[in-house]
Amino acid sequence: MPRLFILFAVCLSIATPAQAQVRVNLLTEEYAPFNYLEDGRLTGIGADMVRAMSEMLGIPFKARILPWKRAYQQALTDPDTALFSTTRLPTREEDFQWVGPLFEVQDYLFGNDQFAMEINNLDEARDVGSILVQNGGGSHVYLKSLGFQNLQPYTVTDKQLVMLTMGRVDLIYLSDLSAYYQLRINGMASDKIKPVFRLKKAELYLVFAKTADPQIVASWQDAFEQVRATGRREQIIRRYLPRASADASGSY
């Protein structure tokens, strides 16, 4: 009996580092196709990436959906919280510890099929009447940092493209993946919108507060590297967007 007790204690000690990961509170937002609920299950490219990483760590995947600003603020200050999918920007660089990149996207300004103005640079984009951006999201932060005054923030839904095609805004800031997905779920033909200005490539990450335990962060990064090495990252992206390449460059 003492031998069995010693063996049990050793097993517990071996499991302790992995079990410590359970204390991480995973947060995300509702933003398809990256993270969203489908039949009560959290799914999406980012969600499935973090789920796969959790499997590599041997821990259950459980994440809460919150409004972006609330989730972001909690991730900034709570060392036991991690947030996905977060765009990496210079203005955010020193605020977090970064795990990933989970995936990459190409950002554009899109207009509807009636948009006639030619946009050749950011100065010309500043002259447009209105640009739809996610309230507090990467698009909002990025253009605001460049001095844009013509931004119209929105709360995330799947109807942003409807607003664009109805002419309620002049342009919308979207990634190639988001545009492709929203066309598909809204049953729209691809010629209903057009990219009018190519912006930056963006990488999206799982982020931890600066005060989070570096060893826990490193374990999540190791799990990500394993997911990428096995080819699951590419499989996840193709599951949602069959035409998209593994680096999510899209076709725009």
Task: Give 15-103+204-240's CATH code, choosing from 3.40.50.720, 3.90.1010.10, 3.40.190.10, 3.30.420.140.
Answer: 3.40.190.10
pLDDT over 80 at 138, yes or no: yes
Give the per-residue pLDDT at 225.
Answer: 98
Q: Domain spanning 106-201 has what CATH number?
A: 3.40.190.10
Q: CA 38 → CA 62, 80, 175, 193, distances in Å?
A: 15, 27, 21, 26
Same fold, 15-103+204-240 and 106-201: yes
At 164-179, the pLDDT tens digits run 999 999 999 999 989 9
| Least confident segment among 3-7, 50-54, 187-191, 202-206 | 3-7
Query: In Å, what is the CA distance from 82 to each residue of 15, 46, 97, 101?
Result: 21, 13, 9, 14
What residue spans define the domains of the chain?
15-103+204-240, 106-201
pLDDT for the residue numbered 251:
40
